[in-house]
Copies of this chain bind each other. A is one copy, B any other.
Amino acid sequence: MRKIFDEGFSMDLKETFVENIQTHKGNILTFRIDRVRCPDGQLATRDIIDHNGGVCVGALTDEEELIFIRQFRYSYEEELLELPAGKLEIGENADTEAAGRRELEEETGARADTFIDLGVFYPTCGYCNEIIYLYAAKGLHFGKQHLDRDEFIEPLKIKLEDAVKMVMDGTLKDGKSIAIIMKLNEMKRNGVL
């Protein structure tokens, strides 16, 4: 790493909690507005979304196809192609791989012989504390889907190399899916997939 400017650097950048101004609890997240103290002592407010975290799984068939989910996302009023994913249950943060295995089986009917840790993904760090745990899954065996009552999704298979093209041409927009696809692509190029 190289610094760009010489002055004022390696400074303490930390903001500290002063008081909570508002808190509103939803079904899957909590919205709060906090007053914070900035590094220079001045006050500012921060809008924060508290979220319990999630998992996302890049499940590869023996033919190097990735399992995708086609799903309507009410937030964007749009159907999206995403890799299988889901929320962590309360207390499940200690075993995120188990959560990944559960979500993969529920959404696609697939169980995997091997799960590979691909690190964490911070979706939108300016105002949200969600952590998405990323995994690859290999050695797939297909059974039956077990969807939640209000979950309507369609699983599809797409070749990894085609998924990379769909990231590059902008067809795939979902952040966590982009991260996994491009990590798998790099692992393949490096001969470690």
Task: Report A145-170 CB contacts with B as 1/0, cut-off 8 Å.
Answer: 10001101111111000001001111
Per assembly, the copies of the chain total 2
Q: Give which listed residue, B38, B42, B122, contacts A174 with CB less than 8 A.
A: B122
Chain B residue contacts of A85, Cβ below 8 A: 126
Q: Give which listed residue, B26, B123, B158, B168, contacts A186 with CB less than 8 A.
A: B168
Chain B residue contacts of A187, Cβ below 8 A: 168
Residues of A in contact with B, size category: 35 or more
A: which residues have CB within 8 A of B?
Answer: 1-5, 9-11, 13-15, 22, 24, 26-29, 31, 33-34, 36, 38-40, 42, 44-49, 51, 54, 65, 67-68, 70-76, 79-80, 82, 85, 87, 108-109, 119-130, 132, 142, 145, 149-150, 152-158, 164, 167-170, 173-176, 178-179, 182-183, 185-187, 189
9 closest A-B pairs by beta carbon, nearest first, are A119-B170, A182-B182, A26-B47, A31-B31, A123-B124, A44-B150, A13-B72, A123-B123, A2-B157
